Structure 1
Amino acid sequence: MDSSVHVHVEDVRGEGLEPVLDRITGYGVTGVTVAAACRRTRDVTPHGASRMTVRGEGVHFTPPADLFGESRLVPPVQDGAGQEPLAALRRATAERGLRLHGWAPFLCGSALGEAGPGVAVRDCFGDPGATTDLCPSHPDVRRYAVALGRAVARQGVDSVVAEGLHFGPFPQGCPHERSFVPLGPMDAFLFGLCFCDFCLGRAADLGVNAEAARRECARIVGGVLDGDPPAQGEVTRAALTAYAGPEVVAYARARSETVTSLVSEVSAAVADEGSRLVFLDGTGAVKGHADGLPSPGLAAHDAWQLGVDLVALGDLVPSLGAFAYARDPARIADDVGAYRRSTGKDRDLRVVLRPGPPDTDSADRLAAKVRAVRAAGAGAVDFFAYGLLPYPVLDRIRGALAS
């Protein structure tokens, strides 16, 4: 079974390339997935050079001039990128017979949202949403995503792992975010829909009354903000139709065309550079990130909420990935099985597990999850993330793969 460990460049810089790869090789994995680009985070790093690592937003390589020279959106460059850490990692993994995958968040980044006014999402009131969420309908954002895919592929990676190449949820976690108004799941979903001019136009081209959908969202969300009780229950198409009406559901479903066409463009560009795209659906991370206790709806069935049409992408993308952030191995098996049925049996499916908290409390539980992933038909399992976990937790990987 193909497998990898996610690492950050700061992990390698702090501990040394060879010691990090010695440990990772000892886990029995077949590859390394490196953060070729990173969003702004503050991480507790138990065995890093610093026990707290503040990561900047940007890429760990020099953006190629032919890709970004005329672009309105150019990724920030991380300190130390001139030392070519990805090239060094590529050479070292090749010497050890390990695959190297380049992982990058595509449509999230406050620096990009602030540098390019109008490229972030806009809510049903016409107000800017989180500057960290770039809108996949915007032409400049779409060109940026294609260029980023090409740029990561040029680092010589076996695959480009694209995270966030779809619409984001509401809220996605802006710094110092505050909301003292209780929003139900459906209210939050409506508040998170993008109604920028490009989204409105693309939906209208598909025959949706986009303006009517926007007005209805503004009426419902505005009422909750004014004190109406929030709606309860999970977001399903049937529940949303009853709550907000068919035009809103049609508008939400129309977003899948935006995402599907963008992923297709990025995949073609990555293939043109001699690599392959792994489209990583973020639904499982949204559902289980905080505590490993996702709501009952399976991730594959709820992916439409982020504009992800797994059936369509299964025909377009050679490899898809899913976050399995759940405590229960049986739930993971159900999630992976649903992805497999949606994407088709001939498509490579990678599943991301967390070896430690908040959803894995023992070596036995991790081993049970790996067995569940295998039994459900996934072809690869990846472990997140080397620098964030103590060594004893990382050591669980070896036994889980051997089991």
Structure 2
Amino acid sequence: MQAAIWAYPWDLLDEGVETVADRLGEMGVTEVNLATNYHSVQTFLPHNPERRTFFAHASSYFQPGDGYDGITPVPNETMGEDDWLERIVEEIADTHLTLNSWTVGCHNSRLGMKRPDLTLESPHGDSLVFGLCPSNPAVQSYLTNLVEDLDARAPFERIELETFDYFYGTGFGWHHDKYHTRLGTLGEFLFGLCFCDHCRSNAADAGIDVERARETCRTTVDGLAEGNLDPERSVEEWLDGHPTVADYVDVRTDTLADMFRTLGDAVTDAELGYYVGFVGADRSWMHGADLEALADSVDFYTVMAYESSREAAVEQYQTALKLSGDVPVHAGVLPGHPSVYDSQTTREIVDGLAEAGAPRLSFYNYGLLPEHNLTWIENALETYPN
């Protein structure tokens, strides 16, 4: 079983790539999933020798090439004219580590604020600036250019895609969300269901009564906000009773499958992976992702098994495996707050996923975990030599 770890470029450079490589070698980790294009973030860094926190707008950690048409990643301000990816590629080459690109796509509030015409649009007509809409041809072109650029510029073993979809199945994704209405999963999903020009056009072409779908979503969100509807009602049950909206939702899976075929063709030198399970592997459809429909375009999925017990982590993995269309499924593990608080549980989760057949585990996240949590990973991996 292979072992990887997610990491931010500032942690590798602040601590020293060789130093990090030595520590990961002790832990039994052989791969780094490096954040190359990432959403806005504040990180708390318990063992970073230079800082305890790092703030960043949605940024790239490389200097973009010339192949972009219209939308271009914005290099991180702290990086300045430097190219952190280039530096890390050079320094990691002399270590035992394999480098992968951890690439965030549509979750980009910087680009969304600058170009609201590219974003998801709520049923009420609001620009949801935290998420670019993958139905928009300009966004599709941006995402394709991004993975082509990354594939060409560095010897990545894998390019791993996060939020190359309709976000997390919710209309909330800003950094300081404020709402004191009980919308429930149903209301949050419907509020985040995109009705931009491109989504509406795609649905209309499929013969769907778009305005009826939109009005149904609006009145349901408003009814939930006013306390007139049950916020605990399941999304699936509600959609069964509202087939026009259900059909509208289904159109997104076709759009995403088409886009992933283009992404798959764009990557020639690396394996292409896609992260699933942020709201549960069985609800990937809420992101617009039909895992079986994407199967011909990706080389693997990584399911976020960020659970607090062996049983729950294995259940997430097995669910993803059933939906994957025979694509290999890797697993992500969070051996720290708010999921896991001891070494024994970390070991049980790792053992459970290994016994379930996971060929590769990725641990979240090198710079965010305290040193003793890194030791938990080391202890859990000691029976799985690479």
TM-score tier after normalising by the smaller chain length: over 0.9
- Name the amino acid aligned to 2:249: A
Alignment check: 8 A CA contact 1:62 1:81 kept: no
Alignment check: 8 A CA contact 1:314 1:342 kept: no
Partner of 1:225: 225
Partner of 2:37: 37
Match of 1:278 among 273, 280, 294: 273
Return the alpha-carbon distance in structure 1 between the equivalents of residues 356 and 234 of structure 2: 25
- Name the amino acid aligned to 1:275: A
- Name the amino acid aligned to 1:214: R
Is 1:398 matched up with 2:372? no
Partner of 1:128: 127
Partner of 1:265: 262
Tell me the percent identity: 28
TM (norm. structure 1) is: 0.89
Alignment check: 8 A CA contact 2:140 2:259 kept: yes
Return the alpha-carbon distance in structure 2 between the equivalents of residues 72 and 213 of structure 1: 32
Partner of 1:183: 183
- How far the C-alpha of 1:173 sits from its partner, in A, is 3.0
For residues 316-375 of structure 1, the C-alpha deviation after alignment (integer angstroms, 9 at most, x for no partner) is 211111111111211111111111122144x23221111111111111111111122122
Return the alpha-carbon distance in structure 1 between the equivalents of residues 171 and 309 of structure 2: 26
Match of 1:355 among 321, 328, 335: 335
- Listed as ranges, the gaps of 5+ residues in structure 2 are none
Larger mean CA deviation between 81-90 and 136-145 belongs to 81-90
Count of equivalent residues: 379
Instruction: Within 5 Å, give how 1:4-403 maps onto structure 2.
Output: 4-48=4-48, 49-65=50-66, 67-68=67-68, 71-78=69-76, 79-80=78-79, 82-129=81-128, 131-153=129-151, 154-168=153-167, 169-236=169-236, 238-242=237-241, 245-271=242-268, 274-281=269-276, 284-285=277-278, 287=279, 299-345=280-326, 347-403=327-383
Return the alpha-carbon distance in structure 2 between the equivalents of residues 351 and 172 of structure 1: 26
Partner of 1:290: none
Structure 1: 4+ residue segments shifted above 6 A? none
- How far the C-alpha of 1:279 sits from its partner, in A, is 1.1
CA gap of 1:231–1:57, structure 2 versus 1, over 3 A, is closer
Alignment check: 8 A CA contact 2:18 2:95 kept: no
3-state SS of 2:134 partner: coil
- Name the amino acid aligned to 1:3: A
3-state SS of 2:293 partner: helix
TM (norm. structure 2) is: 0.93
RMSD value over aligned CA atoms? 1.7
Return the alpha-carbon distance in structure 1 between the equivalents of residues 142 and 80 of structure 2: 19
Alignment check: 8 A CA contact 1:241 1:248 kept: no
Alignment check: 8 A CA contact 1:61 1:82 kept: no
For residues 214-262 of structure 1, the C-alpha deviation after alignment (integer angstroms, 9 at most, x for no partner) is 11111212233345244313322x34323xx111111112211121111
CA gap of 1:215–1:303, structure 2 versus 1, over 3 A, is same
Larger mean CA deviation between 389-398 and 95-104 belongs to 95-104
